[in-house]
Amino acid sequence: GENVEQHPSTLSVQEGDSAVIKCTYSDSASNYFPWYKQELGKRPQLIIDIRSNVGEKKDQRIAVTLNKTAKHFSLHITETQPEDSAVYFCADFTGANNLFFGTGTRLTVIP
């Protein structure tokens, strides 16, 4: 709902390592959780999403997990590459018909 907390705000990893970003939400009616990647000066682009009837979803090096009981969801990027460097935003969607975004995580992958 209207309160989505995202951590960490910045994250630096060595190329090849994994990165994990976590978000918590407050509205138990939230039922859809997308993750967007935004490169500098560009539009947010969806990279993966999960709906509340699923606990985990994976797409190649990217995965998202959802814990409805604890009201948190996480983005996992494995085998990070320099082109993964960007700002990542989580969001949730409730019956209010719009997305509420987290404050973003700036990921830097060090070659």
Partner 1 sequence: DTGVSQNPRHKITKRGQNVTFRCDPISEHNRLYWYRQTLGQGPEFLTYFQNEAQLEKSRLLSDRFSAERPKGSFSTLEIQRTEQGDSAMYLCASSSSIPTDTQYFGPGTRLTVL
Q: How many CB atoms lie within 10 A of CB 37?
A: 20
Taking residues 7 to 46 in sequence order and writing x for each that binds partner 1 by CB under 8 A, - otherwise, the string is ------------------------xx-x-x-----xxxxx
CB-facing half-sphere around the CA of 18: CA atoms within 13 A: 10
Residues in binding contact with partner 1, number by CB under 8 A: 24
Check binding of 99 to partner 1 (CB under 8 A).
yes
Of the listed pieces 11-19, 60-68, 69-77, 95-103, which binds partner 1 according to CB under 8 A?
95-103
Minimum CB separation from partner 1 for residue 67, in Å? 19
Minimum CB separation from partner 1 for residue 35, in Å? 11
Q: What DSSP assignment string belongs to 67-107?
A: ETTTTEEEEEE-S--GGG-EEEEEEEE-TTSSEEE---EEE
Comparison of 31 and 108: residue with beta carbon closer to partner 1: 31
What does the angle CA 43 – CA 61 – CA 12 come to, to the nearest 5 degrees?
70
Binding site for partner 1 (CB under 8 A): 6, 31-32, 34, 36, 42-46, 49, 51, 89, 91, 93, 96-104
